[in-house]
Structure 1
């Protein structure tokens, strides 16, 4: 599922997405899935690391796909994830319609260039329940597991369940 989610976001942004944005989009996809269904989309054990959500499997998936479905290009200090020579279409991923709608909502809300858009995305991600639970008690250099269920617990609390 991880590679399909990466492809979805890269294809739908037409390759105009930074690695930072992509990682945050993947985190939000898993987070929203847990929030509403209680289950993650991916098998990732998300970590708080270097100020944000992260998992090494994302880097490995990007390396496997690099030069094929996607291409990683460094422009200055920013790594962009662009369309590769074997890039397909979103429809080829055979994702359920409901999932595609959720993913597209993430893309529409947070895709775009410029530091303002990125800062808004980072601010939003850092205020999610799993991030709030760890960011004040751990150092950015520490690798601390994030509990995505905290977001579901927050929703249940808000709904009085």
Structure 2
């Protein structure tokens, strides 16, 4: 799929306008690193409901700071200049780094206009993400690093957005439909009656107030208490001593199955 510059600009502008809708002025400012990640998340959301197809046509790559695209980076300034966004430049805290750039713009009418042009798959998912992470770089990077295309890829590899397409639920629904179709009318009736009974039982359990244990009003902090705490702590063994170590990992770690699970944290 060829790169669609208009779509890239549209997502960039929408991202900044959504941030501009925040109450706190400082939360309305986004830098290039934030904007690039939000364009990636927009493509990811679009791919989930479009068989892995990208909205922008970008070939995303696993680079230093997660998903990266030079094409998106190059479009930030012209896209935001086109809607007359405010550009601010700050001195970096690091001597070897370029100055920081932050953009902001609050325009409710323009935001509504962009929202109606973009697919709902993007607007419905991107807005809450921008509200949640905003310009919080560490949290945003942590989130994008844990997306499926990133967990499968190694540094410098291109990302496969089709991995976000989840057919599990559809498969389960189809299997359930097939099993029900193969049942006789009598078995279907029995199944529905048992299901209704389970639902009624669950409803009754929810109405019963749980019994709570009364808390100790005046806990005793005496020698017996101190001895018990000391004994519990002794079960952990000797305390750790602080030291500096250097760990080296094989490059094979990027393809390890431990990076591909749903419980990666």
Q: 1 CA distance for matches of 2:35 and 2:15?
A: 7
Q: 2 CA distance for matches of 1:58 and 1:96?
A: 17
Q: Please state how far the C-alpha of 1:149 moved relative to its aligned partner.
A: 0.9
State yes or no: 1:11 paired with 2:17.
Answer: yes
Q: Which runs of 4+ in 1 moved over 6 A?
A: none
Q: Which residue in the other structure is 1:131 paired with?
A: 150
Higher relative contact order (CA 8 A, sep 6+): 1
8 Å CA contact 1:25, 1:107 repeated in 2: yes
What SS does the aligned partner of 1:20 have?
Answer: helix
8 Å CA contact 1:11, 1:88 repeated in 2: no
What residue ranges of structure 2 are gaps of 5+ in the alignment?
A: 1-6, 21-27, 93-99, 172-265
Larger radius of gyration: 2
- TM-score relative to the length of structure 2: 0.49
One of 74, 92, 101 as aligned partner of 2:113 = 92
State yes or no: 1:106 paired with 2:157.
Answer: no
One of 18, 39, 53 as aligned partner of 2:67 = 53
- TM-score relative to the length of structure 1: 0.76
Greater share of strand residues, 1 or 2?
A: 1
What residue ranges of structure 1 are gaps of 5+ in the alignment?
A: none
What SS does the aligned partner of 1:43 have?
Answer: coil
What SS does the aligned partner of 2:49 have?
Answer: helix
RMSD: 2.7
Provide the aligned length of Structure 1 versus Structure 2.
147
Q: 1 CA distance for matches of 2:152 and 2:43?
A: 17
What SS does the aligned partner of 2:59 have?
Answer: coil
Q: Please state how far the C-alpha of 1:96 moved relative to its aligned partner.
A: 4.7
Q: 2 CA distance for matches of 1:60 and 1:118?
A: 20
